Amino acid sequence: MATQEIINIGTLPNDGEGDPLRVAFGKINNNFSNLFSTATSTLESITTGTSADQVIWETPVANFAQGQFQIRTGNPSNNSSQNMLISAQILNDLTQVKWTGYATTFNGNALATYDMDVSSGNVRILTTPLANILMQHFIASTVTYVDVVEASLLIELDGFVAESVMSTEIDLNVTTE
């Protein structure tokens, strides 16, 4: 995660020493953007049999915003393999994931189909093997997730104790708690 960008507010109101508005709001945008993090990972998942909807990847839905996945499914006993690219995003109410699978490349026979869902608080990638064999699924993922910020986070101003009174540029008083 990137470092917090501090806005220079100058020493006194309207002293011309602080950041211009455009620079200040750029720092604000960067600070909010840093609330989102991206994780890149790879993993291997093994499936056997032809049972539908075998879970090969999952993560908590509360932190998932969107993801890109590259899945290579292979049959270790021959050269059959397939690649699938998936692009996914969570709905705002966290109940469904919308996804698109594209750019499937086959070498030999088709091996599996894929699906995504939200179940038991997790976003999941599911596969249904097309043959009753052991399959290896190599998954490379880049997921953007929302960091969980704890409620009741205390914000303090350096040098100001509780019940300090500060004035603003338009002569409004702000009292710290």
Residue in the block written with tokens 């998936």: 86
What predicted TM-score, i.e. pTM, was given to this entire model? 0.64
pLDDT tens-place string over residues 144-162: 876 544 444 445 556 666 6
Structural domains of the chain in order of their starting residue, each with its CATH number: 1-34 (no CATH), 37-146 (2.60.40.1680)
Residue with tokens 């993560």: 59
Quick one: average pLDDT of 95-102? 93
Our CA angle for 149, 153, 157, nearest 5°, is: 130
Q: At which residue do the structure tokens 């006993």 appear?
A: 77
By the 8 A CB rule, do 145 and 39 touch? yes
